[in-house]
Amino acid sequence: MESEAIGTAASNTDFSLLSLVFDADPVVKLVLLFLLGASIWSWMVIAEKLFSLGGARRKAKQFEAAFWGGRTEDFDMRPGQVGSDAAGRVFASAAREWSDAKRGMPAPAEAAALVSRAERSMRATVDREIGKAGKGLGVLATIGSASPFIGLFGTVWGIMNAFLNIAAQQDTSLGTVAGPIAEALFATGMGLVAAIPAVIFYNKFTGDLTSFGDQLDTFSQDVLVRLSRRASDPGRD
């Protein structure tokens, strides 16, 4: 009879997701709401980074192809003529230094000083571009590291309430403890749901950002080589 009563109580307990959320303790509800918001926020950042970082790398490759094809290697071009992508802005910083040097001194003896200034200018531009492309990664890192612990807090709180219910009702049947424990474990699950995609895409975007930085560094070195040749021979086309 006792086993039948336990089975009846368990069968009458609704374990659907909506029921678990609505029947949960107010603190657990707040935890679940916070984790849901964190998950939505992380997916918004992920979607934005997939488009922006992927587009930045693609445009940089296109500008490099144009540069090697001889269509954008003229250092006399105005910065506004070289495009608005990251590689174009790196090239524009070198073109700006060349333009300033032509007004003052294009003496071959000062070619090294020109190349040094152009290198510093391009290094600063690359750093700015990497910083701009990396915006939002801190959000993914925070969500990925904090969400499991926030979910664990909800689990601990829910299990504590389950034991309080047992003490208050003097009843250890499955129907008494199953609901609160299920709510508690659901908080841990939500924490993992928020954290796992954030960690995976954080690692992906970090690798993509490193590759993007290496790509811009390599391009800036190529620009410096051509600028050095041009500065050493001002009559060179």
Q: Does residue 79 lie in a domain region?
A: yes
Task: Kindly report the length of the chain.
Answer: 237
Give the pLDDT band (50/70/90) at residue 6. Answer: very low
What single DSSP character describes residue 85? S
Whether 4 maps to a domain, the answer reads: no
Check pLDDT > 70 for residue 22: no
Domain count for the chain = 1
User: In this structure, how many other beta carbons lie within 10 angstroms of the beta carbon of residue 117?
Assistant: 17
* pLDDT of the residue at 75: 55
**Count of beta carbons in the 10 Å neighbourhood of residue 34:** 18
> So what's the pLDDT on residue 79?
47
Q: Look at residue 2 and tell me if it is in a domain.
A: no
Tell whether 22 is covered by a domain. yes
Write down the pLDDT at residue 233. 64
- The reply to whether 122 falls in a domain is yes
Tell me whether residue 10 is in a domain: no
Q: What is the residue range of 163's domain?
A: 16-232
Domain annotation covers residue 173? yes
Q: Determine what percent of the chain falls in helix, strand and coil, rounding each to the nearest 5.
A: 85, 0, 15
Closest CA to 166 of 176, 153, 155: 176
Residue 8 lies in a domain: no
Please indicate whether residue 233 or residue 163 has the higher confidence score (pLDDT).
163
Tokens standing for 22? Answer: 């609505």
Report the alpha-carbon angle 39-44-50, nearest 5.
Answer: 125
Per-residue pLDDT of 86-139, as tens digits, reads 888 888 888 887 777 666 555 555 667 777 888 888 889 899 989 988 888 999
| pLDDT given at position 7 | 47
User: Would you state the torsion angle of the CA atoms of residues 98, 101, 102, 105, taken in this order, to the nearest 10 degrees?
Assistant: -150
pLDDT in tens, 29-88: 888 899 999 999 999 999 999 998 888 888 888 888 877 776 555 555 454 555 677 888
DSSP state of 76: T
The whole-model pTM stands at 0.77
**Mean model confidence pLDDT for the chain:** 78
